[in-house]
Structure 1
Amino acid sequence: MYRVLHRNLCTLIQPTAEAATTAAATTAAADATVTNFKSISQDIFKEQNFKRLVDKFKKASDVDSFRTKNSFYGAIVRRLAVAKCFNYVEDILEHQKQYSDISKEGFNARLITLYGKSGMHRNARKVFDEMPERNCTRTVFSFNALLAAYLHSSKFESVHRLFNKLPKELSIEPDLVSYNTVLKALCENDSFDSALSLFSEMDKKELKPDLITFNTMLDQLYSKGRFEEGEKIWNQMDVKGVEPDIRSYNSRLVGLALEKRTNEAADFLVEMEKKGVKSDIFSINALIKGFVNEDNLEEAKKWYGEIAKSSYDPDKTTFATFVPFLCEKGELKLAIEVCKEFFNIQCRVDASLLQLVVDKLVSESLISEAKEIVEHAKTNRYSRYKLNLPADE
């Protein structure tokens, strides 16, 4: 009986032990892969010489798992593009075409997207056009990547032209993402009538606009002074059953402020918060800008004061709007306090803004205060500003 029980117990334990060994090996391999990628990525990130960086990146691309790291690809390409090293962007991305992944639509769409975000729309189009040569089917997925590439490259008219042309040629049915991309391009190009027409066309295609659709339209219409059209789109949100978010509300706040209806905008902000949508710095900036435009110093000061009660800090736009207004109104004491707040939170602003304050203080014979601003600017931790102070002062 003992031998039978022992044999049965061993039979039960053995597979479990084997499974545990296999699992441990799999985990170890996964950990090694993660560690290896971390080591490789850190080496590439730390590389300051772009030629060596590109060579290391291309070598790392030989590893299958490395080619799945979309965010890492994006970070490196963005770094090269910001440095205007477009030849190196092309070197990295063209190198990817040698791998078997290039037969997959997703991989092609990634290359198209990376080229687009680098402003290299012609290269993006070339990748798209070459897909049939690789036996890779082009669907609305890669088509949308192409539209976005032209959008990121600021080729707004081309986005609309491709939208009208390619679906018929390639038997592709545009989807909501396609429409949202074209709407964005039309709005960026100030082609608002065409955007509104396309928005209406979505109903005929039985495409329900989403929050991205509405926010794109609201942001552009309200900010460009097309308030009445913006209001029509705003009302459509309720009809279509789309709940506005903070970005939607901020767009309308901007629209009301531009219409010099800032008191109404302030009431609207209160209404917004009662609905559970918390205001942010963009909300307050809209009100400050509105009251500055209406020459209402007290209300502008009041809403700047609201920032101190909130969980967020003023930003570059806050200072650029508020500080010149304070100088214009002779509120130099408050202007100095606001500048000190700017230094405290280490916010980057244009040096001309600080120079304006210094010049105004000097013109009012507040020399020691002007020197204080200049010294703060010199020793600011992240952005040291060189400001001019009259030599004879």
Structure 2
Amino acid sequence: MSVLSRVRRYSTAVLSPNSSSPLTSKQKSRAALHLLKSESNPERILEICRAASLSPDSHLDRRAFSLAVSKLASANHFSGIRRFLEELKSRSDLCNEQFLSHAIVLYGQAKMLDHALRTFTDDLSPPRSVKSLNSLLLAAILAKNYKEVSRIYLEFPSKYSIQPNADTYNTVIKAFSESASTSSVYSVLTEMDRNNVKPNVTTLNNTLSGFYREEKFEEVGKMLKLMEEKYGVFPAISTYNVRMLSLCKLKRASEAKALFDGMVCNGRKPNSVSYACLIHGFCKEGDLEEAQRLFRDMKRRGFSPDGDCYFTLVHFFCLAGDFQAAFLLAKESMGKAWVPNFSTMKTLVIGLASVSKVDLAKDLISQIKDKFPDNAHKWDEIQAQLPQ
């Protein structure tokens, strides 16, 4: 048997043991992502990733990489992350800047910024590009090391002869916004002017997010005016969404709704994200009536709520003790193959039983067990505690 045949058989045995034929690349990716969602054993996670031969060229693979690293980091299995990524660097198809830049980001996600820095300085061949610089800046943000973001931004472009681009500056602005240093954005704008790099909508959005986080509401108006008059950058729908989300995080959902209404009156069309921001905001403030009204209006206007929108509503209706409404929303969500997390569904099942809806609770358990047979034993235990 050839080496390639043995590799294919190994991959199939790990990713789809019931399959009798080799998996395609996309099938491997989907199988790996599915298995990783429920896997908690670090060595098994690594085995799944190796069997799938993941590559950053594929969107599915990037999701699998990220999920695997997140789970390994949560398990404090940092040696496994290092070992796995170092193994990948030796793969002939991954000896390129694209993968190394992705590895830098993954190290940042795992809070292993020293390894991200070493990958940039030691593994990338000169001349290093702005793409790898931007990946390193993002890694520092993911690691929540904002001091390193500033150091990299100030030192690395000249040290490695890299010309920053709009993405570079926007990433630095994002770091300032997240670290309560949004006033420093003005110096970045000056640097952009000096290097003839024009700000864009992302520049505006990242800046506004920071000013809202610091509750510098006057600066929001100033920045909107500056961007429009000096740079010709006008608010996009994403800008309105950033502003609404920021207000909702500050428990100012009514102000976010006023912004939404003003946007609509001015002829700007909202999108599903606009509604989701408001729904989550009103739920957090306990105004479930307004949240549900927005949910109905969202569907009436032809926008499709995503899974997170359903999960938010189910969770907060359960907290409010309205288990009938939560049940209807959960059923609708599950009909779209979106199932709220175990904790929320357990609360819903027990809540339904507490209001004499035992049959609905058992029906819900039956559906969940069909979708997640690996957790069937947990639901059997819960069902045994319900009134018979």
TM-score by structure 1 length? 0.67
**Matched residue, 1:125:** 117
Alpha-carbon separation, structure 2, partners of 1:230 and 1:209: 16
For 1:197-225, what per-residue CA distance to the aligned partner results, in whole angstroms no more than 9, with x for missing partners?
53465456554311221222234444675
Alpha-carbon separation, structure 1, partners of 2:294 and 2:31: 46
Root mean square deviation of aligned Cα: 4.2
Q: CA deviation at 1:138?
A: 3.8
CA contact (8 A) 2:251 2:281 kept: yes
CA contact (8 A) 1:222 1:254 kept: no
Equivalent of 2:274 in 262, 270, 283? 283
Equivalent of 1:71 in 44, 52, 57? 57
Rg larger in structure:
1
CA contact (8 A) 2:272 2:298 kept: yes
Any idea what SS the aligned residue of 1:279 has? Answer: coil
2:101 paired with 1:113: yes
**Matched residue, 1:361:** 352
**Matched residue, 1:249:** 240
Alpha-carbon separation, structure 2, partners of 1:224 and 1:371: 47
Any idea what SS the aligned residue of 1:208 has? Answer: coil
Alpha-carbon separation, structure 1, partners of 2:30 and 2:357: 47
Corresponding residue pairs, total: 336
**Matched residue, 1:91:** 87
Q: CA deviation at 1:302?
A: 0.8
Structure-2 change in CA distance of 1:121 and 1:367 (3 Å): same
Unaligned runs of 5+ in 2: 1-22, 33-43, 73-79
Alpha-carbon separation, structure 2, partners of 1:46 and 1:292: 34
TM-score by structure 2 length? 0.68
Alignment of 1:1-393 (within 5 A): 41=25, 71-72=57-58, 75=61, 78=65, 81=69, 84=72, 86=81, 87-96=83-92, 107=96, 109-119=97-107, 121-130=113-122, 136-138=126-128, 140-170=130-160, 172-195=162-185, 197-199=187-189, 202-203=192-193, 206-222=196-212, 227-239=217-229, 240-273=231-264, 277-380=268-371, 386-387=378-379, 388-389=382-383, 390-393=385-388
Structure-2 change in CA distance of 1:130 and 1:331 (3 Å): closer
Q: CA deviation at 1:227?
A: 4.4
CA contact (8 A) 1:219 1:248 kept: no
CA contact (8 A) 1:112 1:149 kept: no
Q: CA deviation at 1:250?
A: 0.8
CA contact (8 A) 2:201 2:233 kept: yes
Structure-2 change in CA distance of 1:208 and 1:43 (3 Å): closer
CA contact (8 A) 1:167 1:174 kept: yes
Q: CA deviation at 1:145?
A: 4.1
CA contact (8 A) 1:225 1:258 kept: no
Give the fraction of aligned pairs with identical amino acids, expressed as a percent. 26
Residue 376 of structure 1 aligns with an amino acid whose one-letter code is Q
Structure-2 change in CA distance of 1:338 and 1:224 (3 Å): farther
Q: CA deviation at 1:383?
A: 9.4
Alpha-carbon separation, structure 1, partners of 2:386 and 2:370: 20
Compare 336-345 and 323-332 and name the one that shifted more: 323-332
CA contact (8 A) 1:115 1:124 kept: yes
Residue 118 of structure 1 aligns with an amino acid whose one-letter code is L
CA contact (8 A) 2:177 2:207 kept: yes
Unaligned runs of 5+ in 1: 1-38, 59-68
CA contact (8 A) 1:245 1:277 kept: no
CA contact (8 A) 1:44 1:53 kept: no
Residue 65 of structure 2 aligns with an amino acid whose one-letter code is R
Alpha-carbon separation, structure 2, partners of 1:375 and 1:366: 15
CA contact (8 A) 2:353 2:361 kept: yes
Alpha-carbon separation, structure 1, partners of 2:137 and 2:370: 46
CA contact (8 A) 1:223 1:254 kept: no
CA contact (8 A) 2:102 2:135 kept: no
